[in-house]
Amino acid sequence: MEIPWQALRTRFEELNNQLLSVSLDYAKRQELQREHSRLSTLLDKHTAIEKLTNEMTQAQKEANTNADPEMKVLFQEEVHELENKLKIEQAALDEMLYPADKLDDRSVFLEIRGGTGGQEAALFAADLLKMYTNYALKKGWQVSLVDMSETDLGGIREATLHIQGPRVYGHLKREAGVHRVQRVPKTETSGRVHTSTATVAVLPEADEVDLAISPSDLRIDTYRAGGAGGQHVNKTDSAVRITHLPTNIVVACQEERSQHKNRAKAMKMLQSRLLAAQKEKQELEESQKRKEMVGTGMRAEKVRTYNFPQNRVTDHQVDVTLKKLDMVMEGDLDDIIQALMVKEHEDRRKKALI
């Protein structure tokens, strides 16, 4: 579907005339100015793209027809340079026309839980914890372990990472869902391949302005933290558990030595959980309007399969298969995540045209 640029220019001229009126009230003027500003930016970008396209067409014509070999090379270099500029400008225009999720710039709380498969599921959850930690560190993000419940064999029942940095949610949000592993468990004596699962939830970190929580809706408990950390961690009530009574959402934090800091981080986690629930509800309502399935991280969806015997990983959201599972488990996720980001951009374009 082509963008109706002429209609947009006509509307822009209409807004120019309307804004000259002295009879507009403040609210109406603000509304028209916002539309005027958006159209102005879109049309300027479109004009720049048209200019680059014309320049590239002319340079290509010269490269094809010029008899001088040196001049031909120069024009071909100019065509290549203009192509790169055009790609950048087109990507910027697409971002204006089909804007990304406004939460993409947020940091995240990433929750991992062992699913079906008993001890093997818990061990796989621990592997995922290491994988995401390594990936985040490779991206230059800050990673801290907020809370973790371990098993006797070194697996984890559940764990929460706080990952801070630019566009973390934009990169990781499609990791949410069911992750399936196929391998011979350490506890298996006959060498049979088992299938187990772990679930991942990715919660954009909430800002204070996103939603208000009434103190009367909270129950706050303190307890002694477990795990590594020395005598202080184990002998003082520094860990904090907060229950949001209306939704029965429970969050806990024992990362910090200070109860005050643990409480602040637990509150941030709770806000993020509530924000994610709110976002999921909105997405569900939008998908029902379009009569299509929600495909943005619902936990019931199987998003990826990790096949250890064949060193293969398959992401089912984009149908990408890589024969380097060993590298992926060390945090080499760029190939998969870039493919997922491209797919989301294409999906935004489709939805914008519905």
More confident residue, 264 or 326: 326
Q: From CA 158, how far away is CA 113, in angstroms rounded?
A: 4
pLDDT digits (tens, 9 = 90+) for 229-275: 444 445 567 889 999 999 999 999 987 888 888 888 888 889 888 88
Q: pLDDT tier at 346 (50, 70, 90 boundaries)? A: confident
d(CA 321, CA 347): 20
Could you report the per-residue pLDDT of 70-103, keeping only the tens digit for each? 999 999 999 999 999 998 898 888 878 877 778 8
Q: How far apart are CA 100 and CA 251, in angstroms?
A: 29
State residue 291 phi and psi, 5-degree precision: 55, 50
Spell out the residues 6+ positions from residue 56 whose beta carbon is closer than 8 angstroms to its own. 79, 82, 83, 86
Other C-beta atoms lying within 10 Å of the C-beta of residue 47: 12
Would you say 195 and 117 are in contact if contact means Cβ atoms under 8 Å apart? yes
DSSP label at residue 229: S
Strands 156-164, 177-183: pairing kind: unpaired
The answer on pLDDT for 12 being more than 60 is yes
Average the pLDDT over each of 40-49, 237-246, 252-261, 292-301 and give the range with the smallest value.
292-301
Residues 143-163 have a mean pLDDT of 93
CB 109 within 8 A of CB 272: yes
Q: Is 224 helix (H, G, I), strand (E, B) or coil?
A: coil
Instruction: Output the pTM of the full model.
Output: 0.64
Give the pair of three-digit tokens for residue 336.
């998969």
